[in-house]
A and B are shown apart, each in its own frame.
Chain A
Amino acid sequence: MAQQTPGNTQAAPPPAAKPKPKPLPTIPPELDALPIWKLGAPALVAMVKDPKSTLFQKAIACKKLSIVGGKEAIPPMAALLSHPQLSCYARFGMEPNPDPSVDEAFRAALPKLTGKLQIGVINSIGVRRDAKAVDALAKLIDHSDPEIAQSAAASVGMIGGPHAARVLQAALSRTQAPVFPVAARAMLLCAEDVIATNRAHGLDLYRTLSAETMPKPVRLAALRVLNEAGPAPEYTNRWPAPTGEAAARDKSGFLGR
């Protein structure tokens, strides 16, 4: 039996009088994003390039270019990667752009930056899973700044694949806290990626991560995967089925498997 008010838009009582909306704050025109937001990609690219553009204009232009920017938007945004305030806006604009020139720009910027700005680019490389950057990141795992080393290890894990796994296995054998726990977590990500295409290799990685020396959350995570996979043959074969008199005594069949 069909009932009344499908969608509820007809029978609903009239809404109560709307409360008076709060007055919107007065926005200074030079700090209003809306006019910039309405621009097309060519004008936005020109705004990012223009040395006369303000910090605010470049920032909002990068934000909008994250949605509409093409290949031509990459070089002007990449030029901002070394800017202390605008680097995050440049990465915001570049990270979701599928054009391969983004990866090239991040890789090119990597050795030229330091500190937090370098960390930002390392993180973006991880998000984009740029396999061509693994070797450059591998070197940074040994960086004297532990935050850079941690970010590099994390990004290698996010990139995944057998090569990344080898890099992280080597890192686990030579790093110490605070880099070691991040490398272990990165290896966990990598194992998750590898097991999807090579189950045996993936399980090997999880076995490495289940060692007592690993951080407890990582060890438990690895054990959960290994438990789900079932016991290894060396464990299932440890107790052979009873034979002879013992088998005769076992009427239940429980021991006989």
Chain B
Amino acid sequence: MSEKHGEVTRRGFGKTLAAATAAVTPAAVTPVAAQIASPGPGQFGPVVVGNYRPVDQIIMGGIGIRSRGMADLRMLLGDDRIKFVGIADVREDAREMVKSTVDGYYKTNDCKMYRDAAEILARPDIDALLIATSDRWHGLMAMWAAQSGKDMYIEKPGAMSINESYAMADNIKRYGTVYQSGAQRKNQYAFEFAVGLARSGKLGRLTAVHADTAIGLGTVDEGGHSWWPEEKPEPDPLVFDWDKWLGPCLWRPYNSSYKDRGRGQFWDFHAGLLEWASHTVAMAQWAADMEHTQPVEYIPEGPNFRGDGLIERYTIRCRYANGIQLILRNHSWRLLGSCSNLFEGTEGWVEVGDSGRIEVSDNLKSLVPKKTGRAYDPTAEHLREFVSCIRSRTPPRANAVATCNTHVASHAAWIAAQLNRKLEWDPAKRMFINDEEANRMRSRAYREPWRAEALATSM
């Protein structure tokens, strides 16, 4: 067959492809590599799957990576589907620690450092972000990442208020990005097993899902809304940028104790119950097949409620519209480790925790695998799921909608505890029913100049 003008034959296509690929391939890449590389925009040709060449790798950056973030980063670096290229942090020591880790792993000097997250968000070559700032920044960072078209693995909690939870999830949906919250227990065997029992009917008809929400109320913020440690001179912003560290939180005078310890005791920096609820309420919602909604009723119980947030022993009994109860409590667990969950049905129960042990009712003991009971960190698996979802464009287990509904439920429970009264919630209208004070507590105004670009929920 001859080549006619304007038509491309099979042989001609090969030449065209080679020429086109050569035109966009850096000189350093060998012609062989160029031929098997995936096609660029506007090109045609084979897509390489499972053999990740530099052009196929997911390019990642990081924002606010220190202790927990470093653990994530080390696990992420082992995944050859990604390449980590830059870090933004308000702390000079944190920037340098990440750069030295990344460059040491790749044996290069390529990891770029930025003081301002906006600079890394503006890089068009970065596909995805690892975000592990302090809690107060998570919601806004997620929104900014989505608006920049970037996928994200973001440490929990995901939002500081009910309205921020919705704004986050709405932005992720609007921009179609992949969001994985750092609720890594969603990929931990014991928890998966317990959720499986609940969802497969082995517990009979589900009656209650319990979540250990532990700290959050009892130890946080004695005095309801904080005190101010003594004012100290602000450090050089090049070393530690206090204004950006505070971010959307209300202004307060600088004191070095904030950055190294003790943030959790201040309401301004804390997301209420969500230190643990981000994990355990997420699990409970998953087990109850309620990840798409929230309970409609919240009843704080316990003699120690004082109404100013100080509680030593608490139970917050919540109810979904279908009658299943979500019970948040910090007491009377079987000592299976932190972040415990108990799921109860008409025909049995299961309880799990971070120890990896699985306790069940007698009739279900034969279902529990013998080789369990090992405590392990499932974060690597959770990160791998995230990277796979970047490629498949499917929502991971700790996606934005599930995270949003977990957070709305947990914030609503916390508001009920703070007000020390029963609250009713309308998930469709995103507001409490006939309780103006509670409705006012759905949001926290951002300090200037920060803003969330979102359609505000019902006023």
The residues of A with any CB-CB pair to B shorter than 8 Å are 1-9, 12-13, 15-16, 21, 24-25, 27-28, 31-34, 37-38, 56, 59-60, 63-64, 66-68, 85, 87-89, 91-92, 95-98, 116-117, 119-120, 123-124, 126-129, 147, 151, 154-155, 157-158, 160, 182, 185-186, 188-189, 192-193, 216-217, 220-221, 224
Contact = CB atoms under 8 A, between A and B. Distances in A.
Contact of A151 (B251, B351, B449): B449
A158 B225 contact: no
Given A85-B251, A96-B442, A124-B445, A189 B454 contact: yes
Q: Which one of B222, B346, B445 has the greatest number of beta carbons of chain A within 10 Å?
A: B445
A151 B331 contact: no
B414 interface: no
B456 A128 contact: yes
Contacts of B259: none
The 6 A-B pairs with the shortest beta carbon distances in the complex, nearest first, are A120-B448, A217-B149, A34-B223, A96-B440, A3-B361, A37-B224
Given A8-B349, A151-B449, A193-B455, A16 B440 contact: no
Contacts of A117: 448
Interface string B337-366: 000001010111101000000000111000
Contacts of B449: 116, 119-120, 123, 147, 151
9 contacts: A3-B348, A5-B349, A7-B327, A8-B332, A28-B227, A66-B440, A119-B448, A127-B456, A189-B453
Interface residues of B, number: 61
B176 A59 contact: no
B149 A9 contact: no
A12 to B, nearest CB: 5
Contacts of A15: 331-333, 335
Contacts, number: 170
A47 to B, nearest CB: 14
Contacts of A60: 225-226
A192 B443 contact: no
B308 interface: yes
Contacts of A56: 228
A147 B448 CA distance: 11
Nearest to A68: B437
A217 B175 contact: yes
A224 B436 contact: no
B107 interface: no
B421 interface: no
B33 interface: no
A88 B349 contact: no
Contacts of A186: 453
B447 A88 contact: yes
B147 A217 contact: yes
